[in-house]
Amino acid sequence: MQAVCSNCSAPLTGEYCSACGQRRTHGRLTLGALLADVSRRVLHFDKAFAVTFWRMLREPGRLVPDYLAGRRARILDPIHYLTASVFLQVGVASFTHFVAPVVGRLSAVGWLGRLGGVMAIKVLIIFGMGLLWRLLFRPLRYNLAEIYVFAMYAFGTTGILWAVLPLVDLLVPYPLGADPMTVLLVTLGIEIAYGTYAIWQFGNIPIWWCAMRVAAVLGAGYALLIGVVGPGYLSNMLLPEHLVSR
């Protein structure tokens, strides 16, 4: 007897229904299947997430053009990728808050202000700096929407790289996050270094010119944020309270 779609009763010939697009269901729902479905639909921690992250590390200059050209079968779209990276950062922050006091490494918490603060203003940063890039440099190859696609992929990847830092702090013998200046310089260095590399591949322009553009856009972007929210409020968002008060 041929299997039919649970949603519209159309005959099934593959994993997805050709009539309504619903995925084939396999018997009674189990806890493992429920968690897998939530992970895939909400958090997007699946093979596509891993492939997207790996390709953004290795070849951002090919992944983003692939998405823009419609070759999207094995990668996450930029909004889902950014959302998944934020959920990953939340998970790492929760894990670090729980583990750091147990192992006596409170310096790992020093990285979490940067994660939490940037997540709180993530959309403003992405769209604000994307617009700044467009206004400052007037790129001819890509329009504003395409720049936003690149920005969401790039900022999502930067957030994942930042999420590694408190985990490294928990593992190494030296308390890396104890000094707020170290936290600031390392996170900003990762942002500039990865942004330069990604734009160098994506824009196909000299890497020194990419570094100058990234520094200019980040400087102008953070200066604008300071002007809008004030330096004290921004520092409270980007660094934990016990570090800001030093």
Cβ 152 vs Cβ 126: under 8 Å: yes
The pLDDT assigned to 53 comes to 94
Return mean pLDDT, the chain. 79
Cβ neighbours of 170 (radius 10 Å)? 18
**Phi and psi, residue 174, nearest 5°:** -100, 135
Burial of 23 (0-12, 13-18, 19+ CB in 10 A): middle
**Of residues 4 and 160, which shows the higher confidence score?**
160
Rg (C-alpha) for the chain, rounded Å, is 21
The pLDDT assigned to 244 comes to 43
HSE, CB side, 13 Å, CA atoms: give it for residue 206. Answer: 3
- pLDDT tens, residue by residue, 161-195: 988 999 999 998 888 888 878 888 888 899 899 98
Among 16-25, 56-65, 148-157, 159-168, the minimum mean pLDDT is found in 16-25
Cβ 13 vs Cβ 2: under 8 Å: no
Using CA atoms, how far apart are residues 212 and 17, in angstroms rounded to an integer?
50
Q: Which two tokens stand for residue 57?
A: 């590390």
